[in-house]
């Protein structure tokens, strides 16, 4: 079945139609456009950019839009460039070969793949159906599944407006705006029955049967199906269900969860896919196994039998380290939005609500999707070793366990997709020194034995090239950001020459939740300003979005903006507007130091630090999330990870430790050069950083762990046993 899952023909037809509208030599580009595999192939991005570099950026690196919107002169010039066309054919061929090959030694059954359900996917900047870390992690997992040949299909939602875009006004206050996504201009296709009629399913939400169609996107060999309710037969409010990611209104959110969970299970059935494992990534899709159970009840099973059989196929990953407080809902809201589920399951609401409560039977306890996720799955995990511990302690009451050790919640440490996040110059350098096939051997320690021999001068040249590319990018972005804010001309112009390709560059870019403690950077402002003064100093790049309703996080940025006219700030510090995957790729590859300052233990994993490390950046991080596992071998610096109830005192101490480390360790090591101008001590650490992150924090390692411990555990129950 998985050889030609539904939608295969629809995508092929879309590519053929596109090709028919282009100069004929560009046909391979049209075919490449409809599978995101190009996006992590060496030279893939360059290939499209070569058609029209300006257009490529202007249409957000969306290959379909590029080919439809580039002026005819660009298309014809490209069509006449034999070398370029040759490269396109050879990339197409190598991708076709790769996808046709069945990798050996794989687990999983192509007839019964793993079904992965998630509310967001960060596959590429041109597919705006992600908000942040959770989505990017999901996108990375799909790419790893493709690389490893693990049979897997993915289900999500097609948001018509995606996540919000961010801009700042002159006072430094964040404003949000939404941009309409035009699905026919995304490189996917509506799944049809027979080439004409869309395959439509119906999902009961808020008492109405909502019609849902599916778009298919190909991520290498993994089909990603996105559910879409924007159909004329639906009422306006139902068409709007999947408009924006993480809407604030609880009933609207629950409607999204019904669409993803119930709709996801029904979509799989309509597609003819019977998964061996259902992986719920976060609680949002947790209704899917209940929908499976409902089908069995309709077929004559008892609720208990049906529930157990669904649970036996379901696994669950929790990503939140905060006690269940946030995502809980009034029971009436669940009953209203998921109405009819009780009847279909042949049980009462009391039983269903109990599944979603931390303490079953306690009607005071508001139900939530994480508790439901834990109860409907045979195995559950957190996303780092420390997060596993934290999650066991949070969820102990739900399992009625006497001690945290007894809570059946393990961990699989997150990882990131190396070919997506490691910049091409680093990939090419490693291919030269570790062997062309190093990307397939990265989990083998032998592959890395040779990294010690990698000439410092070459690696340093690559690091400098990445930093100077980043500086070019920052100058342009900062100029535009400042213009958009209506800043004074002198301050705008400062951006054009700002940032120095040789200066130590520090990055801090992440979701602006208060617990991420961006405020530590400016807590002792006078001292921080000294660090950016003088020739051997720092430059600092900041970016990140605050949730629209999180005013306290917005105030933190506004405070920072107040210092923007202080000496050197205009040319050494920038807060970049509108952080997304595209910007993340620039930042993680070009920064020398990557800073993470969460309030422990609130960082479940953190993944941007892994991306930076793969490019040779050194992490300076609080000991929380993934960094606890990496710090000994990753060449960076650590701040204490203890939990402290006195937040003010903790912040004062950590802010000083951050500045101390920068001043006394980071800066001296970076500027300590030998006669060839190379910072030898720094390069030692850079090599450790690349080796450790690529070997141990890759998405392949993560997915390999899921396969071994969770999807197909050899010893029964192994995946569910807590790690001691």
Ligand X SMILES: *Cc1c(COP(=O)(O)O)cnc(C)c1O
In the complex, the residues that contact ligand X under the rule CB under 6 A are 132-133, 136, 510-511, 580-581, 584, 606-609, 611
Q: Which is nearer to ligand X, 258 or 612 (CB)?
A: 612
Distance (Å, whole) CA 301 – CA 311: 14
Q: Is the peptide bond before 601 cis (omega within 30 degrees of 0)?
A: yes
Side-chain half-sphere exposure of 667, counting CA atoms within 13 A: 18
- Cβ contacts of residue 347 below 8 Å, gap of 6+? 303
Task: Give how far Cα 354 sits from Cα of 173, 217, 312, Å.
Answer: 42, 37, 19
Assigned token pair, 409 = 């919640």
Distance (Å, whole) CA 683 – CA 618: 10
Query: What is the secondary structure of 340-409 as a DSSP string?
Result: THHHHHTS-HHHHHHHTSSSTT-TTSPPBHHHHHHHT-SEEEESSHHHHHHHHHHHHHHHT-SSGGGS--
Q: Which is nearer to ligand X, 581 or 617 (CB)?
A: 581
Beta bridge partners of 588: none
Nearest approach, Cβ of residue 634 and ligand X (Å):
14
What angle, 0 to 180 degrees and rounded to 10, lies between the N-to-C axes of helices 82-100 and 72-79? Answer: 80
Nearest approach, Cβ of residue 18 and ligand X (Å):
28
Nearest approach, Cβ of residue 720 and ligand X (Å):
26
Q: How far apart are the first and last CA of the chain?
A: 40
Nearest approach, Cβ of residue 348 and ligand X (Å):
40
For 3, counting Cβ atoms within 10 Å of its Cβ (0-12 exposed, 13-18 middle, 19+ buried), the class is exposed
In the chain, what's the furthest Cα-to-Cα distance? 80
Nearest approach, Cβ of residue 620 and ligand X (Å):
13
Nearest approach, Cβ of residue 66 and ligand X (Å):
22
Nearest approach, Cβ of residue 638 and ligand X (Å):
16
Nearest approach, Cβ of residue 584 and ligand X (Å):
3
Q: Which is nearer to ligand X, 438 or 594 (CB)?
A: 594
3-state secondary structure of 513: coil
Nearest approach, Cβ of residue 514 and ligand X (Å):
14
Yes or no: say if 152 and 222 are a contact pair by the CB < 8 Å rule. yes
Yes or no: say if 122 and 130 are a contact pair by the CB < 8 Å rule. yes
Q: Which of 630, 632, 600 is nearest to 613 (CA)?
A: 630
Nearest approach, Cβ of residue 158 and ligand X (Å):
19
Q: Which is nearer to ligand X, 571 or 580 (CB)?
A: 580
Q: Which is nearer to ligand X, 245 or 293 (CB)?
A: 245
Q: Which is nearer to ligand X, 441 or 511 (CB)?
A: 511
Yes or no: say if 61 and 53 are a contact pair by the CB < 8 Å rule. no
Q: Which is nearer to ligand X, 153 or 634 (CB)?
A: 634
What angle, 0 to 180 degrees and rounded to 10, lies between the N-to-C axes of helices 456-485 and 489-497? Answer: 170
Nearest approach, Cβ of residue 418 and ligand X (Å):
13
Q: Which is nearer to ligand X, 508 or 711 (CB)?
A: 508
Nearest approach, Cβ of residue 510 and ligand X (Å):
3
- Cβ contacts of residue 479 below 8 Å, gap of 6+? 492, 495, 496
Q: Which is nearer to ligand X, 376 or 602 (CB)?
A: 602
Residue where the block lists tokens 């997915």:
703
Q: Which is nearer to ligand X, 438 or 627 (CB)?
A: 627
Assigned token pair, 573 = 């510090």
Q: Which is nearer to ligand X, 375 or 611 (CB)?
A: 611
Q: Which is nearer to ligand X, 381 or 607 (CB)?
A: 607
Nearest approach, Cβ of residue 59 and ligand X (Å):
19
Q: Which is nearer to ligand X, 337 or 610 (CB)?
A: 610
Q: Which is nearer to ligand X, 11 or 602 (CB)?
A: 602
Q: Which is nearer to ligand X, 230 or 578 (CB)?
A: 578
Distance (Å, whole) CA 635 – CA 653: 23
Query: What is the secondary structure of 128-170 as a DSSP string?
Result: -B--SHHHHHHHHHHHHHHHHT--EEEEEE--SSBSPEEEE-T
Nearest approach, Cβ of residue 602 and ligand X (Å):
11
Phi, psi of 626 (to 5 degrees): -60, -30
Nearest approach, Cβ of residue 164 and ligand X (Å):
13
Nearest approach, Cβ of residue 596 and ligand X (Å):
6
Buried b (16+ CB within 10 A) or exposed e, 44-72: bbebbebbbeebbeebbbbbbbbbbebee
Q: Which is nearer to ligand X, 265 or 466 (CB)?
A: 466
Nearest approach, Cβ of residue 525 and ligand X (Å):
24
Q: Which is nearer to ligand X, 387 or 611 (CB)?
A: 611
Nearest approach, Cβ of residue 136 and ligand X (Å):
4
Buried b (16+ CB within 10 A) or exposed e, 340-363: ebbebbbbebeebbbbbbbebeee
Residue where the block lists tokens 């995990």:
381
Distance (Å, whole) CA 487 – CA 116: 46
Assigned token pair, 544 = 């990140």
What angle, 0 to 180 degrees and rounded to 10, lies between the N-to-C axes of helices 581-590 and 456-485? Answer: 140
Q: Which is nearer to ligand X, 382 or 606 (CB)?
A: 606
Can you give 8-31 as a three-state secondary structure string?
A: HHHHHHHHHHHHHCCCHHHHHHHH
């Amino acid at each position: 079945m998985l050889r030609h899952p539904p939608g295969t023909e629809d995508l092929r037809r879309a590519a053929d139609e596109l090709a028919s509208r282009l100069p004929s030599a560009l046909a391979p580009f049209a075919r490449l456009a409809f599978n995101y595999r190009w996006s992590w192939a060496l030279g893939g991005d360059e290939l499209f950019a070569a058609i029209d570099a300006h257009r490529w950026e202007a249409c957000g690196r969306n290959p379909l839009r590029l080919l439809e919107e580039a002026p005819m002169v660009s298309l014809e010039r490209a069509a006449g460039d034999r070398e370029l066309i040759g490269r396109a054919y050879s990339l197409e061929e190598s991708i076709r070969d790769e996808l046709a090959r069945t990798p050996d030694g794989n687990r999983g059954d192509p007839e019964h793949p793993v079904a992965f359900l998630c509310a967001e996917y960060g596959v590429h900047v041109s597919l705006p159906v992600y908000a942040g870390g959770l989505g990017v992690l999901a996108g990375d997992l799909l790419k790893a599944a493709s690389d490893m040949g693990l049979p897997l299909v993915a289900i999500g939602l097609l948001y018509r407006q995606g996540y919000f875009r961010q801009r700042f006004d002159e006072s430094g206050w964040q404003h949000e705006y939404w941009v309409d996504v035009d699905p026919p201009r995304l490189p996917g296709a509506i799944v049809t029955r027979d080439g004409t009629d869309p395959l439509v399913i119906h999902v009961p939400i808020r008492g109405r049967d909502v019609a849902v169609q599916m778009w298919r996107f190909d991520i290498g060999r993994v089909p990603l199906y996105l559910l879409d309710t924007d159909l004329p037969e639906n009422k306006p409010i139902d068409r709007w269900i999947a408009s924006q990611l993480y809407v604030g209104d609880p009933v609207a959110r629950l409607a999204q969860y019904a669409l993803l969970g119930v709709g996801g299970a029904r979509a799989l059935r309509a597609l003819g896919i019977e998964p061996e494992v259902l992986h719920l990534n976060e609680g949002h899709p947790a209704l899917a196994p209940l929908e499976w159970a409902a089908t069995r009840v309709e077929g004559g099973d008892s609720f208990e039998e049906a529930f157990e059989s669904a649970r036996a196929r379901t696994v669950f990953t929790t990503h939140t380290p905060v006690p269940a407080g946030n995502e809980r809902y009034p029971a009436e809201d669940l009953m209203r939005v998921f109405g009819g589920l009780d009847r279909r399951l042949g049980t009462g609401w009391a039983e269903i609500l109990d599944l979603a409560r931390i303490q079953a039977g306690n009607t005071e306890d508001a139900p939530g999707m994480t508790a439901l996720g834990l109860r409907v799955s045979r195995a559950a995990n957190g996303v780092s070793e420390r997060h596993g511990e934290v999650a066991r302690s949070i969820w102990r009451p739900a399992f009625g366990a006497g001690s945290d050790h007894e809570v059946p919640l393990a961990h699989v440490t997150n990882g990131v997709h190396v070919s997506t996040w490691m910049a091409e110059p680093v990939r090419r350098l490693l291919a030269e020194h570790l062997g062309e096939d190093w990307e397939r051997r990265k989990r083998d320690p032998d592959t890395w034995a040779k990294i010690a021999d990698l000439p410092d001068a070459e690696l340093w040249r690559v690091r400098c090239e990445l930093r100077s590319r980043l500086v070019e990018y920052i100058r342009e972005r900062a100029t535009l950001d400042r213009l958009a804010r209506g800043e004074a001309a002198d301050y705008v112009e400062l951006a054009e020459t700002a940032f120095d390709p040789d200066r130590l560059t520090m990055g801090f870019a992440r979701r602006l939740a208060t617990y991420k403690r961006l405020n530590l950077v400016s807590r002792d402002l006078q001292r921080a300003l000294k660090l950016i003064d003088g020739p051997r100093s720092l430059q600092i790049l900041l970016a990140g979005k605050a949730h629209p309703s999180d005013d306290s996080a917005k105030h933190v940025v506004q405070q920072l903006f107040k210092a923007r006219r202080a000496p050197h700030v205009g040319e050494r510090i920038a807060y970049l507007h509108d952080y997304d995957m595209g910007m993340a790729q620039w930042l993680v590859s070009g920064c020398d130091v990557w800073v993470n300052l969460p309030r422990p233990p609130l960082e479940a994993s953190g993944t941007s630090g892994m991306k930076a490390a793969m490019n040779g950046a050194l992490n300076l991080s609080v000991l929380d999330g993934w960094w606890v596992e990496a710090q000994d071998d990753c060449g960076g610096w650590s701040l204490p990870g203890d939990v402290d109830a006195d937040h003010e005192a903790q912040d004062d101490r950590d802010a000083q430790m951050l500045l101390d480390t920068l001043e006394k360790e980071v800066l001296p090591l970076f500027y300590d050069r030998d006669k060839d101008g190379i910072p030898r001590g720094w390069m030692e650490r850079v090599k450790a950083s690349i080796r450790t992150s690529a070997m141990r924090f890759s998405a392949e390692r993560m997915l390999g762990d899921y396969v071994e411990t969770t999807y197909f555990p050899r010893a029964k129950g192994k995946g569910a046993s807590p790690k001691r």
